[in-house]
Amino acid sequence: MLGCGYVSEKGGNPSCFVYCVDKIKDLISVIIPFFDMYPLVGEKYQNFLLFKKIVIRLSKKEHFDKRGFEEIVKLCFKMNRNGYYRKNSLDTILSSLEKSSETIRQTP
């Protein structure tokens, strides 16, 4: 139908399937225009707008520097009930960045 992506069984639930698109190019050229043309409603629409911002930032490679990565992570946590269902908290992820950059600075 859309000419990109694939259908996969959702982990832990053999009767549930998900549609996956893992190429930024396909997200920008196919998926985002599709949902711009056929908008979602309510909270899903707000999540889509955040998702669109994230994909655009990723396409510009903003996640390659620390500040850009932090901003993208913060946008991600605004989605889907402020990250309520995520394994790790926003603070855990951001503090792990601090630890990683401190380790890099200490490496001779």
pLDDT (tens digit per residue) in 59-98: 999 999 989 999 999 999 998 877 777 778 888 888 888 7
In the chain, % of residues over pLDDT 90: 58
Distance from C-alpha of 50 to C-alpha of 64, rounded to nearest angstrom: 19
pTM: 0.80
pLDDT value at residue 1:
75
Distance from C-alpha of 47 to C-alpha of 78, rounded to nearest angstrom: 8
